[in-house]
Structure formats: structure tokens, C-alpha cells
Amino acid sequence: MNDELYQQLTKKSISTKKDNFGKRLSLFALILIGLVVFAILFFVVSRGLSTFTLDQINPFNFVFGTQWNPGKTDEAGNQLVGALPMIVGSFAVTFLSALVATPFAIGTALFVTEVSPKWGNKIMQPVIELLVGIPSVVYGFIGLAVVVPAVRNATGGTGFGIFSGVVVLFVMILPTITSMTIDALRNVPGHMRESAYAIGATPWQTIYKVVLRAAIPGILTAIVFGLARAFGEALAVQMVVGNSPVMPDGLFSPAATLTSVLTQGIGNTTDGSLANDVLWSLAMILLLMSLLFNTIIRRIANRRALK
Amino acid sequence: MAENVKEKAILTTKDVRLFYGKKEALHGINLDFPETGITALIGPSGSGKSTYLRSINRMHDFTDYVKVTGEFNYNGQNIYDPNTDLTQLRKNIGMVFQQPNPFPFSIYENVAFGLKLDNKLSKIELDERVETALKQAAIWDDVKDRLQQSALGLSGGQQQRIAIARALATRPDILLLDEPTSALDPISSRAVEDGLVEIGDKYSIIIVTHNMQQAKRISDRTAFFMDGNLIEVDSTKNIFLYPKEKETEDYVSGKFG
């Protein structure tokens, strides 16, 4: 055995050391992020659960109760901490806004990718990207200044309510759904369009019989992303929804969402009080819903990967 | 100049020129095709054989900067007549591409695609046409028990035969194939070739191929393209054994290409 060669081969070279350092650095970053996520989960869940452990609130009454007035009790002495009005409010604004936004998003995306890529790339794409970048408080402010008075004039109520929330969220999630739908349509291979044409399909038949069908998983992902964004949006919604934690009895009466109650209440309650604990429980519900949306997105993405 | 079809031609093209912007890519092609039989278009990359093939069913229409001139006479009808209905034209002149490209639907839906585009056929008639097309493409036995399964689950060779069945289902007169086996392994290629030979006596088949062995195996006539010109067209036997032109001889003997 040649000792010199042995030394040379077993001594770690500088490149190897740098390589190891890089690996350790990225591992460290990963662990740090992982810890942060875990800490948030742990913190929110542990605080959120104290409503049910320390304050002895029945979880069933919490989720399905319709009276929200933390600190007050009804005649029987039960705490008025029913979160159903906010849960319903959140789901109503979320699903309604996605329902309205999706057709517009698909239409816009089709224009950009299929009808007029030139105009689409030059004008529509920058506009859409601009819309994504506008801070939500601006949307809320416009909603407050334009949508709410318009609804007030049209319906005669206060103008605050689920409908105004839906209008604002519609504008907010439209660019999200649109730009992801554009990606989904662009991912449909060109040769699929070509073979549809070659068989005698018109451009429109090609779009709705082949391109849209092939892009369904991607479009679904886009919609779920829109849902997740709408569900988690707090500020803009809070500004127009009315913030009245009662069961909504129509689109035009004031309502509240999980997020709007949270942003309003979290600074005005004492740490450790029941009023504070129930807010944490609302946050926990929000977090669980976000996880659910994420799971759905991953499921769809995985199914697409299998094909 | 090369001799053209003696029997009745289903498609005659005269002085076909194609421009990419100002650049001329095809320099006046004169080529006829008989009512049945396989014609192979061979030639080195960039020779214009695929470009010529795609001009037959007007696939260049979707590219704005491409201009095609010349005479395309299909059964007495000018293909480039402004009144030509592209949809009907492409049902009569079907096309299969290099990449096996099934739509993300079931096998049945893939083959029935062209049939469902406008005319409403009864379920029975649809079933029958799908079955016939699949049998002609020599894929029926492989898929008859799983017509409702996704075509994406098939092998490359099977997918390509589904693409051929898809084109045959609309009962075309002419079938254009643009290097249909170059993305396939030899065994799958063989299956596709066998299918083509089977239907060669019923359709006019025009196949672009890089593979000279393939041209030799399956085609009745061969046309040799180079640099946007048609150098020579003759029976496949003559092209490979007794080529008249020097370029043809050099190419088929493997001196270049």
C-alpha cells in the first residue's frame, strides 16, 4: 500500500468540504422552517384547545352554537360562544366568490392562451400580475368606498354584508385563479391541439373538448388556491362584511367571518380570559381549514403527477 | 423529372411553394398520389418532406407567417380554395403525428372524437365505426376489453395505433403520417407498420420517414426530397435499386443523411 496515495485519497479535498458545508447549511434552513411551522401549529392548537379544557366549553356547542357574545351567559348559565355564524360567514363569502370568479378566470385565461396570445402576453398578463400585488387593505378600502355605498343604494340596507364581501373577494382571488389557470392551459401539450385540428376540430371545439378537459386538474388546483386565499383573507373582508357575529339571514345583512372576528377582537381581550381563548379556538379552526385546502391541492397535484 | 402516377390520381400537387416569411422552403414540388397504396417521402432533415406533408391538409394555416402557393387538386377540388371547409377537408385527409398523442380520455372517446364533432351518429353506428377503425389500425384485439379505460395507460406503440384509428374513424381518403414510428421502439414500430400495410390497399397513405428500411419494407412508391426540392419519385424498388439521380443514389446508399 502506497502511503502517500492513501493520504491523498482519504484526506478531504476543499471541494468536498465546501459541498458538506452547503449540505449542512440547507439542512439547517430546513430544520429552522420546520421548527417554525411546528411551533405555530403547537401554539395555536394548544391555546385553541384551552377553551375546551380550561374553560370547559362543550366543543359541539362551540362549533354549532349560533349565539356569539363571549363573557355573557344565557338564562341557563351557558357561555354564549357559538362560532357557527362566523364559520357560515367564512364559507359563504369564500365559496360564493370562487363560484363567481371561476368562469371569469377561465374566460380570461382562455383569451390569453388560446384566443389572442399576443394581446394576452402584452396586456393581460401584466395586468393580472399587478392585481395580485395590490395590498388587501387597498381592496378593502375600495370596497368600503365604492361597493358598500352602491349596495346600500341598491338594497336599502347598510350596504355591509356577505354580498359586499363576495364582491371584494371576487376581485382579489380572480387574478390568483386566472394566472394559475393560464399555467394549467399552457401545460396542455401543443401536439394535443394539433391533433385535434388535424382531425377536423374547429379552434373552439379544440378548446372545450380537448384543452379544457386536459387542464381540469390544473384548473381545480387553481380554484382551491383561490378558495384558500379567500378563506384566509381578513382585512379587506373585515372592512366590508359588517362584523356582526349573528347567523347571516341573507346576502345583504351584516355578517362576520372567522378572520374578521379575529382581527377585531384579538387586541381587545385579556390574555387568558375566556373571550381571548375562544378567539384562539377560531384561529385553530382557520388553521385546520387551511391544512384541509392544502391537502386537497396536494391530492390533485399528485393525481396529475401519476398521469 | 420523375415520373408520376399512371393510374388515376386522388391528389395532384403542382408547383407547390412554401414561404416562411420571405424565405422559400419548398421550391416548386410536383407530385401525384394514387387512390390506394403507400407513398413514402424520404430525405435528410430539413429537406422539406414534413413541410410538404403538412401543406396537404393545410396544417400551416395556424402559422401566420407561412404562405403556401401552388395547385393542390384533391378529386377535382382545390384544397386551398377559400371556400374549402377545413373541418371536412381534415376528415377526408387524416393525419398522424410523430408523438403518440392520445387525448386524456378513454380509448373509445379518443377514436370517436372526430365522429362526434358535428354529425350526430347513433350509438350503434358510433360503436361500429370505432370498432372498424380499431380493427383497421390492428389494435382491436389489444383494447377491445378496455375501451372505457384511459388511452394514456397504453404503451407508445398502442397509443400510436389509437391515433391511426382516430384518423381512420372519419373514413378519410388520404392518410398522412409524419414520422409515425420515430418515437417508438422497434417492436412497436413493427406493429404500426403491419397495421399500415394492412390498410394500404384501401387508402392513399403518405408517410414521411427518416427510416429508409421502413420505406423499403412498407411503401409502394418512394419520393426523395432534398433542400426543398423533389429530386425523384418512382416505385420503391427502383428508388432503392436503380435510382436515376446521383443524389438519390448517394442518400439511399448511406453516403450522407
Kindly report, residue by residue over B120-143, the tens digit of the pLDDT. 889 999 999 999 999 988 899 999
Task: Report the complex ipTM.
Answer: 0.85
Cα–chain center distance at A183: 18
Question: What is the overall mean pLDDT for chain B?
Answer: 90
Residue A13 has pLDDT above 90, yes or no: no
Nearest C-alpha in B relative to A210: B103
CB contacts, 8 Å: A201 with chain B: 87, 113-114, 117
Give the residue on B whose Cα is nearest the Cα of A304.
Answer: B104
Tell me how close the Cα of B248 comes to any Cα of chain A, in angstroms: 31
Q: Are B207 and B38 in contact (CB under 8 A)?
A: yes
Contacts of A209 in chain B (CB under 8 A): 113, 117
In chain B, residues with a C-beta closer than 8 Å to the C-beta of A195 are 95, 97, 101, 103, 163, 166
Q: What integer best gives the mean pLDDT of chain A?
A: 89
Asked if the Cβ–Cβ distance from B89 to A200 is below 8 Å, we say yes
Work out the pLDDT band at A1, boundaries 50, 70, 90: low
**Which pLDDT does position A162 carry in this prediction?**
92
Joined together, the cell numbers standing for residue B94 give 387524416
pLDDT, tens digit, 9 for 90 and up, residues B96-119: 998 888 998 899 999 999 998 877
A127 touches chain B (CB under 8 A): no
In this prediction the pTM is: 0.80
Distance (Å, whole) CA B122 – CA A155: 52
| Helix or strand (DSSP H, E) at A71 | strand A68-73
Rounded to whole angstroms, the Cα distance separating B194 from B179 reads 15
Q: Cβ of B63 under 8 Å from any chain A Cβ?
A: no
> Between A and B, how many CB-CB pairs are < 8 A?
65
Residues B8-60 have pLDDT tens digits of 789 999 999 999 999 999 999 999 999 999 999 999 998 999 999 999 999 99
Three-state SS letters, B239-256: HHHCCCCHHHHHHHCCCC
pLDDT given for residue B5 in this prediction? 55
**Residue A207 C-alpha, separation from nearest chain B C-alpha, in angstroms:** 12
Sign of CA dihedral A273, A274, A279, A280: positive
% of chain A beyond a pLDDT of 90:
44
Task: Confirm or reject contact between A199 and chain B (CB < 8 A).
Answer: yes
Q: Cα–Cα distance between B135 and B199 in angstroms, integer?
A: 10
Chain A residue at shortest CA distance from B54: A198
Give how far B127 is from chain A: nearest CA, Å: 18
Q: Do A200 and B90 touch (CB under 8 A)?
A: yes
Q: Which residues of A touch B117 (CB under 8 A)?
A: 199-201, 205, 209
Cell of A288: 385546520
Minimum Cα–Cα distance from B172: chain A residue: A199
Query: What are the structural domains of chain A?
Result: 81-306 (1.10.3720.10)
B191-215 pLDDT, tens digit each = 889 989 989 999 999 999 988 999 9
> Residues of B with CB below 8 A from A213's CB?
103-105
| Pairwise CB contact (< 8 Å): B57 & A198 | yes
Q: DSSP labels for chain B? A: -----SS-EEEEEEEEEEEETTEEEEEEEEEEEESSEEEEEE-STTSSHHHHHHHHTTGGGG-TTEEEEEEEEETTEETT-TT--HHHHHHHEEEE-SS----SSBHHHHHHTTTTSSS---HHHHHHHHHHHHHHTT-HHHHGGGTTSBGGGS-HHHHHHHHHHHHHTT--SEEEEESTTTTS-HHHHHHHHHHHHHHTTTSEEEEE-S-HHHHHHH-SEEEEEETTEEEEEEEHHHHHHS-SSHHHHHHHTTS--
Which residue of chain A comes nearest to B88, CA vs CA?
A200
A183-239 pLDDT, tens digit per residue, is 999 999 888 888 899 988 988 999 989 999 889 889 998 999 999 999 988 888 988
Residues B237-248, mean pLDDT to the nearest whole number: 92
Q: Which residue of B has its CA nearest to A114?
A: B62
